[in-house]
């Protein structure tokens, strides 16, 4: 039996996502050493320490450790909105498009998706126009949901301050899907707690660029977290000796935040390396995600798919006409250069 995680030749340069990282030896040691209890009884000291740490770091009263970002966002939406309420969200946002419709299916919450700019913004005029009057014909508009980073871009801080302020003035709550919040913080050189100002709740992932095997945290006020805690239990997210994985998240907060700058440098190096190829368009990345747009001519040269041709050369990525390549903890500089060579060979 092969222990290889993919059917592709090794060694593979896996740029599909920053979720593919394996816990480092030091992280595994921290997990091994973790003091644990039963978190359903709220007596796992490592989980409690993580929740205190992340709430403090982001400037919230309380936090809750979650198995995944999807469950964290779902519990947030359900803690903000009740049956027949609605949330305003980007048409391409994770909390609308990529979470299986959970808010509607499990929460009886109506999404109101809105158009987003290339930078992830939803214009205030569109938000305002979507807020429903208090009338039995309409769902009750309760919440505005934003995402940072958005497609690897840092959401503009002045925009965030403006729309969250206006949303509050209209009586809406605000939630940030900050799965890659720390990438935004490192890329903008601002502390994460500044980037979440204006939000009533935020969800962050430990399993993306931070390199933990699983886990997210939801932060908010004490009463909000108490409501989210009930939903987490119902969603099956009450874990027992969760300190084993919380230890990985704590380790990541101590050791894997500042190093995200390396992933960002690698992404920039990857994008630069592809300059000058006809029919290939690459925007300089702000964080760790590189998008490569391919012309119909380039695509026509690959009757199978470009990603299959790259996989045959040991480089894994997602997408077709628009390829997505994500740098992370398990990608070294020389692998970035190998990936550039493979991409130039396939696309050139
Ligand atoms: C990955 C991701 C999530 C969900 O995280 P999972 O742990 O995969 O459920 C939510 N939002 C964004 C923007 C993400 O990238």
Please report where in the chains the tokens 């987490």 appear, as a residue.
232
Cα of 282 to ligand 1 centre, how many Å? 24
Q: What is the pLDDT of residue 2?
A: 44
Q: Whose CA is nearest to atom 6 of ligand 1?
A: 69
Is it the case that residue 90 has pLDDT exceeding 60? yes
283: domain CATH number is 3.90.1150.10
Of 207, 222, 255, the residue at which a domain comes to its end is 255
CATH of the domain at 75: 3.40.640.10
pLDDT tens string 235-259: 999 999 999 999 999 999 999 999 9
**Residue with CA closest to ligand 1 atom 3:** 69
Sign, Cα dihedral of 136, 138, 139, 140: negative
pLDDT tens-digit readout, 114-144: 999 999 999 999 999 999 999 999 999 999 9
Q: Is 200 in the pocket of ligand 1 (CB under 6 A)?
A: no
The pLDDT assigned to 303 comes to 86
Does the beta carbon of 181 lie inside 6 Å of ligand 1?
Answer: no
Question: Mapped to the 3 state alphabet, what secondary structure does the chain carry?
Answer: CCCCCCCCCCCCEECCCCCCCCCCHHHHHHHHHCCCCCHHHCCCHHHHHHHHHHHHHHCCCEEEEECCHHHHHHHHHHHHCCCCEEEEEECCCHHHHCCCCHHHHHHCCEEEEECCCCCCCCCHHHHHHHCCCCCCCCCEEEEEEEECCECCECCCHHHHHHHHHHHHHCCCEEEEEECCHHHHHHHHCCCHHHHCCCCCEEEEECCCCCCCCCCEEEEECHHHHHHHHHHHHHCCCCCCCCHHHHHHHHHHHHHCCCCHHHHHHHHHHHHHHCCCCCCEEECCCCCCEEEEEECHHHHHCCCCCHHHHHHHCCEECEECCEEEEECCCCCCHHHHHHHHHHHHHHHC
From 211, 238, 255, give the residue that closes a domain.
Answer: 255
pLDDT at residue 1 above 50?
Answer: no
Task: Specify if 8 maps to a domain.
Answer: no
At residue 187's C-alpha, the angle toward residues 186 and 189, to 5°, is: 60
- 79 in a structural domain: yes
At residue 8, does pLDDT exceed 60? Answer: no
CB of 116 within 6 A of ligand 1: the answer is no
Residue 9 is assigned to a structural domain of this protein: no
Two tokens at 235?
Answer: 């969603």
With respect to residue 17, please indicate whether it lies within any of the assigned structural domains.
no
pLDDT band at 4 (very low <50, low <70, confident <90, very high): very low
Range of the domain at 206: 25-255
Structure token digits, residue 207: 């399993």
Atom of ligand 1 nearest to the CA of 208: 1
Protein residue with least CA distance to atom 14, ligand 1: 179
Q: What percent of the chain has pLDDT over 90?
A: 95
Which residue has its alpha carbon closest to ligand 1 atom 5? 69
Residue ending a domain, choose from 255, 273, 302:
255
pLDDT, tens digit, 9 for 90 and up, residues 300-311 = 999 889 999 999
Neighbours of 123 (CB within 10 A): 14
Residue 330 lies inside a defined structural domain of this protein: yes
Extract the tokens encoding 325.
């390549």
Whether residues 195 and 266 fall in one domain: no
Q: Are residues 220 and 204 in the same domain?
A: yes
Q: Does the beta carbon of 142 lie inside 6 Å of ligand 1?
A: no
Phi, psi (deg, nearest 5) at residue 203: -115, 130
Rounded to the nearest 5°, which phi and psi values hold at 14? -95, 100
Cis peptide before 11 (omega within 30 of 0): yes
**Whether the CB of 207 sits within 6 Å of ligand 1:** yes
Average pLDDT, the chain: 95
Between strands 201-205 and 173-178, the pairing is: parallel
Verify that 249 and 264 share a domain, yes or no: no
Q: Which residues lie across from 87 on neighbouring strands?
A: 111, 143
Average pLDDT over residues 291-298: 96
Residue nearest to atom 10 of ligand 1 (CA): 69
Q: Is 203 in the pocket of ligand 1 (CB under 6 A)?
A: no
Q: Please tell me whether residues 245 and 277 are part of one structural domain.
A: no
Which residue of 151, 155, 179, 201 sits with most ligand 1 atoms within 8 Å of its CB, as the best mutation to test the pocket? 179
Q: Tell me how far the alpha carbon of residue 51 lies from the centroid of ligand 1, in angstroms.
A: 19
Q: How far is residue 124's CA from residue 122's CA, in Å, rounded to a whole number?
A: 6
Whether residue 152 is found in the same domain as residue 63: yes
Q: Is the CB of 86 under 6 A from ligand 1?
A: no
Q: Are 157 and 284 in the same domain?
A: no
- What pLDDT, on a 0 to 100 scale, did the predictor assign at position 7? 52
| pLDDT tens sequence across 24-60 | 999 999 999 999 999 999 999 999 999 999 999 999 9
| CB-count burial class (<10 Å; 0-12, 13-18, 19+) for 58 | buried
pTM of the full predicted structure? 0.95
């Amino acid at each position: 039996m092969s222990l290889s995680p993919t059917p592709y030749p090794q060694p593979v340069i896996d740029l599909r996502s920053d979720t593919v990282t394996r816990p480092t030896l030091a992280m595994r040691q921290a997990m091994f050493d973790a003091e644990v209890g039963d978190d359903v009884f709220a007596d796992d000291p490592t989980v409690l320490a993580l929740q205190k740490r992340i709430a403090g770091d982001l400037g919230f009263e309380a936090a809750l450790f979650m198995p995944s970002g999807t469950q964290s966002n779902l519990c947030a939406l359900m803690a903000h909105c009740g049956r027949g309420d609605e949330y305003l969200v980007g048409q391409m946002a994770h909390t609308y498009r990529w979470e299986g419709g959970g808010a509607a299916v499990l929460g009886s919450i109506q999404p109101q998706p809105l158009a987003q700019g290339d930078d992830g913004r939803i214009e205030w005029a569109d938000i305002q126009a979507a807020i429903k009057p208090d009338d039995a014909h309409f769902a009750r508009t309760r919440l505005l949901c934003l995402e940072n980073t958005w497609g690897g871009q840092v959401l503009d801080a002045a925009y965030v301050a403006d729309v969250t302020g206006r949303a509050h003035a209209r009586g809406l709550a605000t939630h940030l899907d900050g799965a890659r919040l720390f990438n935004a913080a490192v890329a903008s050189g601002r502390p994460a707690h500044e980037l979440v100002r204006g939000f009533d709740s935020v969800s962050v992932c430990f399993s993306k660029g931070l390199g933990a095997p699983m886990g997210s945290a939801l932060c908010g006020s004490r009463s909000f977290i108490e409501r989210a805690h009930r939903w987490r239990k119902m969603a099956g997210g009450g874990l027992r000796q969760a300190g084993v994985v919380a230890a990985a998240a704590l380790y990541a907060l101590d050791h894997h935040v500042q190093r995200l700058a390396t992933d960002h440098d690698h992404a920039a190096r990857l994008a630069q390396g592809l300059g000058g190829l006809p029919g290939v368009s690459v925007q300089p990345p702000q964080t760790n995600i590189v998008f490569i747009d391919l012309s119909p001519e380039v695509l026509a040269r690959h009757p199978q798919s470009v990603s299959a041709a790259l996989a045959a050369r040991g480089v894994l990525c997602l997408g077709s006409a628009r390829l997505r390549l994500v740098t992370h903890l398990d990608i070294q500089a020389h692998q970035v250069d190998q990936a550039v060579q493979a991409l130039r060979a396939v696309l050139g």
